[in-house]
Chain A
């Protein structure tokens, strides 16, 4: 790895001025596990094709965990294992254990709806429901899950979520306009609000800035770092730069296998694998 590119990433990382700290729970959840998510011997198949091969990793709570890798490496599939969305594909098969705060979410006794309520998700393309207003997009999750007892409570929840997503000031006067009137970056922040309105314990983000302009991307990245205090964030990215800027821990996924995983600073300064080094210097995919 060249010294110049090393410096580049180090400066990117430290410009956010917060790097790996020992993470403490501290948001009221029972400390049943120091890890928000853990996978043990995880294999995923689509039909006969193996997409993920013996993935073992642990996501400490209240951190930002980045999964980086070139396209086709299985990142998005791995993310969809964490909220059982992978099961929407009729020929998908999951082996191994996935622990959410210590509990195996693939246990037959676990209801996938319950998992998804605790594990929110933001997608690669901003996908607010185009037939719903800004307000109704955020209110949809709480309504589906009966989280608000009355209109006033729902109003408060929607406002809370929009504030957390740093969108409230821009939309407070136009809550009942169609969500599609917002710009791409605003729509993505709306999707973040929609996900966190359920007050999930984990937030999954699938390349959330891949289709946004640089300024909108920067705002979303800043938001991800702030959200860490409320939820554990797992973010998929194909950009090592983004992983360096926003994550506390990073996993490098290649061809369905974890090549390297560890604290972001360590992985970026002293990559143990040559493959990782090539990826973070941009020599790969």
Chain B
């Protein structure tokens, strides 16, 4: 049985835990409540239409979220496609190859990168990276590899889906590296010895051991995707903020988060836009929750296995 003073402490601290739960419930409640009007008005068209048409005349207003939804997924795919090999390489380098002092430096740097205010990535992306990428990478890629759908359009400015994806990659690398590095460095030594005893080179050993932690890598991918999909400020500064759906990565685009950030100030001018933005926020929440839950679940299951323990 709990002694009296312990019970007292329990009840004294309970409200602090309760506040978190209550706030989360309230947040979901507000999102759902405010989303209902637009969903009742437009139904499934809200998800399937690429049109985003504010109007002074409420009858002509129409909001479809497809373009920003597409942009969110597209930029996030670019981000994890770049971040995944980078994170795996970084994790292997830091764990296996870097001398101890360099290893500490790298781990520290990666942690600092993860904690940087995202606006810093945003202004650097918008002012330095975007023009650089346009001149040095996107223009040449379009000129010489224009037949690839990804590169099929001439970039007008540096503010494109590709630029946003690259900035996002930079931002999720520290996070994904942390997850992958943890799993990789916890592989029991006996497997390391086993693969070297078969005459493997460092590269072959790393490849074999990396394939051993595939579930953890998949978890990192899901968690990184979730982060990238929800990131707002750095994306809205670099993505170009124009609703379009194109296979080409060199067009400006939109993401759900940048849509909300850009439109919220003016939403009050229109009858239905606020509700549309709430619904967009709800979708973002669902995507984020689904990816994070899946990622954390995979990670938890991985930690129970023989290798992950």
- Residues of chain A at the chain B interface (Cβ within 8 Å): 83, 85, 88, 90, 113-114, 116-117, 120-121, 123-125, 127, 129-131, 140-141, 144-145, 180, 191, 194-195, 198
Contact = CB atoms under 8 A, between A and B. Distances in A.
B266 interface: no
Contact of B193 (A85, A120, A144, A145): A85
Interface stretch (B8-16, B153-161, B208-216): B208-216
A180 B190 CA distance: 15
Contact of A116 (B190, B191, B197, B214): B197
19 contacts: A90-B100, A116-B196, A116-B199, A121-B194, A121-B197, A125-B190, A127-B188, A130-B306, A131-B211, A131-B214, A131-B307, A140-B195, A140-B208, A141-B198, A144-B198, A144-B200, A180-B306, A195-B198, A198-B198
B41 to A, nearest CB: 51
Contacts of A198: 198-199
B102 to A, nearest CB: 13
B202 to A, nearest CB: 10
A207 B212 CA distance: 25
Contacts of B195: 129, 140
Nearest to B213: A131
B307 A140 contact: no
A127 B307 CA distance: 10
B212 A130 contact: yes
The 6 closest A-B pairs by CB, nearest first: A117-B199, A141-B198, A121-B197, A116-B199, A127-B190, A113-B199
A127 B199 contact: no
B301 interface: no
A145 B201 CA distance: 10
Contacts of A116: 196-199
A129 B194 contact: yes
A180 B199 CA distance: 23
Given A129-B191, A130-B307, A131-B211, A144 B199 contact: yes
Contacts of A83: 197
Q: Which of B194, B199, B200, B204 has the most CB of A within 10 A?
A: B199
B186 interface: no
B212 A85 contact: no
A140 B196 CA distance: 11
Contacts of B211: 131
Interface string B170-204: 00000000000000000010111111111111001
The residue in B192, B198, B201 that gathers the most chain A C-beta atoms within 10 A of its C-beta is: B198
The residue among A113, A114, A124 with the most chain B CB atoms within 10 A of its own CB is: A113
Nearest to B202: A113
A123 B204 contact: no
B305 interface: yes
Contacts of B214: 131
Nearest to B197: A121
Nearest to B100: A90
Given A127-B191, A140-B208, A88 B198 contact: no
Contacts of B306: 130, 180
Interface in B286-309: 305-307
B90 to A, nearest CB: 20
A145 B197 CA distance: 12
| Interface-centre pick from A83, A124, A127 (highest chain B CB count, 10 A) | A127
Nearest to B214: A131
B28 to A, nearest CB: 39
A280 to B, nearest CB: 29
Contacts of B194: 121, 123, 127, 129, 191, 194
Contacts of B190: 123-125, 127
A144 B206 CA distance: 12
A88 B204 CA distance: 15
Contacts of B197: 83, 85, 116, 120-121, 195
Contacts of B305: 130
